[in-house]
Amino acid sequence: MSDLKVVQGNIAKPKGFKATGLYSGIKKVEKLDLGIILSEVPAVAAGVYTTNLFQAAPLKVTKQCLDKEAKLQAIVANSGNANACTGDRGWDDACTMQSAVGEAFSIPAHLVGVASTGVIGEYLPMDRIQEGISKLPAVMKEDSGPLFSQAILTTDLVEKTICVELTIDDQVVTIAGSAKGSGMIHPNMATMLAFITTDASIEPSFLQQALRKATDESFNMITVDGDTSTNDMVLVLANGYAGNKQLTEDHPQAGLFYDALSLVMKELAKKIARDGEGATKLIEVEVRGAETVDTARKVAKTVIGSSLVKTAVYGADANWGRIICAVGYSETPIDPERVDVWLGDIQVVKASFPVPFDEPTAKAYLEQENVKILIDLHGGAEQAIAWGCDLTYDYVKINASYRT
């Protein structure tokens, strides 16, 4: 990983990209709610989408564009309104956003991806959005990239960006990511919005394949509350400005690019989990010794998804019985006699049997902001890591009155 480093930078850092955002009046409070990512030239693009049966209009429109030629030159995104369950009018509104962006930036409308997040079942205020889009070119500056990351937030408390640099064919390649997501976070893609830009030159099919694989190890391994939204999507744009030889599966540095993409996506995923609605802690569950990767993932996700584990971590209560319980209902073929559990470095269960431990030490460990639960199934060589957050009073507070 020495060829790979995390650097300062935002979604507009890769060569040939710009981004910006503004307040258009979708949100009731004056917070940025409309943003755009723009590439100087059409970029190779790949996407993964929610598994929810009710797919929102912007997602369907974007998917249709990508299915056609796997290229995008811009992504317009709004927060505050998801344009979901809005029928034909929702579809038309998403298409209008495309054409408005096409007009404002003089690019073909079918190269504009659309993403929306927010309340479900209300029509977009198209007059404000169209006015907002018309103002986007004027606020597009060299340094306006961070505004995009702000414009896509809803109940998020912090912006989620990451930027890495690597060298491919002696050229510096940059990959940057920006994500939003706080509630309605759950495994199986359907997790949030994430946008990734890179100036790498890359074959479309390899980009799609790398995106799908990295999604399984990143966004599909986080959960906040088990809910899966109608709008979730990850899009990657690669405009080739870095000047490397086109990356394919057979390129000698294909593995390095994958590692970098995977790092960007895992860091964004962890930022989303840490910023889970009401969360005070990031919880990491690592499962080792599984017979299959599928078993490792299922066990890790089940433990990270348990409301009882989440509240115990919130209360810094070393109630490992709840961890064992969750392992037990994960619907995996594990041996219930051989499970070890650690909280950080403190072993609390050995061969499914309690290990005496010092309660104050365990409590002190669980009071930290980053809590790691390690589970060894002693049933094989596979492993997986999942991320989540604690369940707190504030989760309830935020969600009991989201619309008001």
Interface contacts to its own copies, rule CB under 8 A: 51-55, 82, 84-87, 119-122, 183-184, 186, 190, 225-230, 305-308, 311-312, 314-315, 317, 319-322, 324-329, 334, 336, 349, 352-354, 391-393, 395-397, 399-404
How far apart CA 340 and CA 347 sit, in angstroms, is: 8
Burial of 358 (0-12, 13-18, 19+ CB in 10 A): exposed
Of 101 and 279, the one with the shorter C-beta distance to its own copies is 279
Q: Shortest distance, CB of residue 34 to its own copies, whole angstroms?
A: 21
- How, if at all, do strands 346-350 and 282-290 pair? unpaired
Q: Position 365: which residue type? A: Y
Q: Shortest distance, CB of residue 403 to its own copies, whole angstroms?
A: 6
Q: Which of 50, 62, 174, 191 is catalytic?
A: 191
181 half-sphere exposure, CB direction, 13 A CA radius = 38
Q: Shortest distance, CB of residue 295 to its own copies, whole angstroms?
A: 12
Of 292 and 352, the one with the shorter C-beta distance to its own copies is 352
- Contact between 71 and 45 (Cβ < 8 Å): yes
How far apart CA 53 and CA 310 sit, in angstroms, is: 28
User: Is residue 257 within a helix (H) or strand (E), and if so which, with residue range?
Assistant: helix 254-274
Q: Shortest distance, CB of residue 281 to its own copies, whole angstroms?
A: 12
Of 242 and 312, the one with the shorter C-beta distance to its own copies is 312
Of 78 and 197, the one with the shorter C-beta distance to its own copies is 78
How far apart CA 101 and CA 112 sit, in angstroms, is: 7
CA 248 to chain CA centroid, nearest Å: 24
How far apart CA 55 and CA 229 sit, in angstroms, is: 8
Of 255 and 336, the one with the shorter C-beta distance to its own copies is 336
- Catalytic residue flag (residue 191): yes
Q: Shortest distance, CB of residue 393 to its own copies, whole angstroms?
A: 5
- Active site residue ranges: 191
